[in-house]
Structure 1
Amino acid sequence: MTQPANTQTGTGTGGAFAFVRDGYARVEPHDLKASDIESATVYGRNDETIGTINSLRVGTDGKITDAVVDVGGFLGMGAHSVLLPFNQLNVQRETGGSAVRVNLDTTKEKLKAIPQYTA
């Protein structure tokens, strides 16, 4: 199996995983709507599925501040939810399309080690 090609884009800011998958472009937070990334699949460093965006928290200024990521589970049951600062996410949109990818520089096991988030 061939790994997808990724292009380094620098060191990133705020802990965001700094690469862009071929065929995608990094999206700035101010260019996003919550509906663009809610329910999006979250991928790890090696392009493995590690979770799903459950919901977003928005600050009083209307900007996305945090993301609730569900890790594990099946059809929403038994998932381990964690709250992550939005600046840790690397959000990319398909070039010329609308598909969105979310990447984190971590593993499913490390996310499961974070205390459970309950709203």
Structure 2
Amino acid sequence: MDHSAHVRLTANELTPDVLEDATIYGPDDEKIGSVSHTHGTGAGTQVVIDVGGFLGVGAKPVSVPASQLDFMRDEDGDVHAVTSWTKDELKRMPEHHDA
């Protein structure tokens, strides 16, 4: 997928309603996970990504700063993000647990 023509989200758009269920693509344009939920707002937002699993079963939730993801909208208005992390790198991160 060519992400160069996609419209980047502004910091004000990094809200739970906008980001939830967004697909995350790795460096080789591989689907590596999806946004489960977020913590915080604006520049300090933490994004919880479900990595791996099948149809939501067996996925590992990991938390990363939203600033490490490039969120955008495609031609259909669907929100997704690109990151330099691979699926294996995310799987090695500590599992996120909501308090």
| TM-score range for the pair, normalised by the shorter chain length | 0.7 to 0.9
Partner AA of 2:77 in structure 1: S
Unaligned runs of 5+ in 2: none
Q: CA deviation at 1:42?
A: 0.4
Match of 1:47 in 2: 29
Task: State the identity %.
Answer: 34
91, 94, 98: which one aligns with 2:71: 91
User: TM-score, normalising length from structure 1?
Assistant: 0.73
Partner AA of 2:85 in structure 1: T
Match of 1:25 in 2: 7
Within 5 Å, which residues of 2 pair with 1:58-73?
Answer: 58=40, 62-63=41-42, 65-73=45-53
Q: Which runs of 4+ in 1 moved over 3 A?
A: none
Look up the SS of the partner of 2:45 in the other structure: strand
The superposition leaves residues 25-69 of structure 1 with CA deviations (integer Å, 9 ceiling, x where unpaired) of: 2111213432111011100011100001000002xxx43610000
**Which has the greater radius of gyration?**
1
CA distance in 1, matches of 2:97, 2:56: 14
Unaligned runs of 5+ in 1: 6-20
Match of 1:9 in 2: none
User: TM-score, normalising length from structure 2?
Assistant: 0.86
Q: CA deviation at 1:87?
A: 0.7
The superposition leaves residues 55-106 of structure 1 with CA deviations (integer Å, 9 ceiling, x where unpaired) of: 0002xxx4361000010112221111101011111001135x4211211111
Match of 1:79 in 2: 59
CA RMSD between the two structures: 1.7
